[in-house]
Amino acid sequence: MTSMKEDDKKEIPEIIRDPQTGCTYQRLRFFGKGGFAKCYEMQDLATEQVWAGKVVSKKLLVKKTQKEKTAQEISIHRSLLHKHVVGFHNFFEDSQNIYILLELCKKRSMMELHKRRKALTEPETRFYMHQILLGVQYLHHKRIIHRDLKLGNLFLDDDLHVKIGDFGLAAKIEYEGERKQTVCGTPNYIAPEILTKKGHSFEVDIWSIGCIMYTLLVGKPPFETSTLQDTYKRIKKCEYKIPSALRKPAASMIVLQLQANPTLRPSVDKLLQHEFFSSGIMPAALPVSCLTTAPRLDQLIEGEPIHRRPLNEVNSNDMMAVDSPVKPQPPEELRAVESTGHRQNLMALRDQIASLLTGKLKCRPECLTDELSDPAAQPLVWVGKWVDYSDKYGFGYQLCDESVGVMFNDTTKLIMLANGVTVHYIDRQGKEQYMTMHKYPSELEKKMKLLTYFRRYMTEHLMKAGASVSVRESDGLSRLPHLHQWFRTTLAVIMYLTNGTLQINFQDHTKIILCPLMQAVTYIDVEKNFRTFRFATIEEHGCDKKLYTNLKYALEKMNSILTNKLC
Active site residues: 148
DSSP letter (8 states) at residue 332? T
**CA–CA distance, 71 with 89 (Å, rounded to integer):** 15
Output b/e per residue, 119-137; b: 16+ Cβ within 10 A. bbbbbbbbbbbbbbbbbbb
* Cα distance between residue 266 and residue 256, in whole Å: 7
Cβ-Cβ contacts under 8 Å for 47 (sequence gap 6 or more): none
Confirm if 465 and 515 have CB atoms less than 8 A apart: no
Taking alpha carbons only, the member of 150, 122, 167 closest to residue 212 is: 150
Rounded to whole angstroms, how far apart are CA atoms 202 and 87?
22
* Consecutive H or E run containing 122: helix 122-141
Reduced to 3 states (helix: H, G, I; strand: E, B; else coil), residue 467 is coil
| Contact between 53 and 30 (Cβ < 8 Å) | no
Residues whose CB falls within 8 Å of the CB of residue 421, separated by 6 or more in sequence, listed in order: 436, 437, 438
Tell me how far apart the alpha carbons of residues 562 and 334 are, in angstroms, rounded to a whole number.
12
Interatomic CA distance for residues 161 and 129, integer angstroms:
11
Check if the beta carbon of residue 506 is closer than 8 Å to that of residue 524. Answer: no
Phi-psi region of 516 (alpha: psi -120 to 50; beta: other; left: phi over 0): alpha
